[in-house]
Amino acid sequence: MPLPSLKDQFAALIAAPSVSCTQPALDQSNRAVIDLLAGWLGDLGFTCEIQQVTPGKFNLLASRGTGPGGLVLAGHSDTVPFDPQLWQSDPLKLTEVDGRWVGLGSCDMKGFFALVIEAVTPLLEHDFKQPLLILATCDEESSMSGARALAEAGQPLGRAAVIGEPTGLKPIRMHKGILMDRIDILGRSGHSSDPNLGRSALEAMHAAMGELMDLRRGWQEKYRNPQFTVPTPTLNFGCIHGGDNPNRICGQCALEFDLRPLPGMDVEQLRAAIRSKLVPLAERFEVQIDYAPLFPEVPPFEQAADAELVQLAERLTGHRAEAVAFGTEAPYLQQLGCQTIVLGPGDIACAHQPGEYLEMSRIEPTVRLLRDLVRHYCLS
């Protein structure tokens, strides 16, 4: 039975819902997408291994050829949630508008897999001297549990890995890390007429925020990388909740913040520095302070500029490798011994937006680029 056309594959992937979300009511299984890919790749002679990561969530490892080297073409099979009323077309139906393929996941990034299959199919008549691995992960948009599971398993994948996130076909060799953490302060409520009747969690949090701002100032003075649009690490106070009435001393307060370190900054050292500031505050204000991650961190990522993969990608694309602010699964593949870059056809500006699209003019250059990468790593 012949494979569906590129457009039909693209449409089928978009039509298979695979929302990943921290809110259980919105979260969905990605199994339908994994089964589509495994079916097509299996028909092409790939050996397909479906790995359950958590209930309803799966990774796919599809391989052609064997050996210690080779190439990994990787992406995530999930999408973010969507608001149908904000779309001008059905988000789960591929729609062609003004030279664009519109649909949820067209850019970020289920559509990438259809382009990989299009690129690889004509090459399958050749003997693969090194393996080609096509990797589809789960839950990149929430916990990155799929990529984390691979890293924890420790099974080497290949010599080089290309992650097809939306980069406008420009190679990316660096991105910042992402920490989302929470500070909970438990004080003691009391009547506001006498401060000695309680221990204000809100005042202790005010002091904690001051310490965090001092740390941020020091990190931004010490660390700088001009390759990033925002060249310093950032720390954002995202939300704060505390107290219940003006005439009560605040008994509880919680702060959630986002910290984005540059490559070269150690995540555990950053958290240790924060803890070192909070401990004396707890004693000073006579409160209990708990500090913990909301989610496991995404480490900063950097692939050396002189790496073979980076230089090859620069030559094939005509663009110098750059840095981006958003996080990816790159550090986890790098942990498995792969030289790793991020390189895909979409535009990050339309990702996570109503009307997400892929420019059709990017299809042919992407297919050509992927074929050249496979030839270099697997056929030569």
Residue numbers annotated as active site? 78, 140
Place of tokens 């050292």: 269
DSSP annotation of 374 = H
Query: Closest by alpha carbon to 181, among 79, 81, 272?
Result: 272
Cite the beta strand spans of the chain per DSSP E. Answer: 47-54, 57-64, 71-76, 95-97, 100-102, 132-137, 160-163, 172-175, 179-186, 234-242, 252-260, 288-293, 301-302, 322-324, 339-342, 357-359
**Which residue type, as a one-letter code, is found at position 150?**
L
* Tally of helices (H runs) and strands (E runs) in the chain: 9, 16
- Residues 256/236, Cβ–Cβ less than 8 Å: no
Residue 342 near residue 330 (C-beta atoms within 8 A): yes
Q: Residues with Cβ < 8 Å from 228, sequence gap 6 or more?
A: 174, 176, 262, 323, 324, 325
Residues in the chain: 380
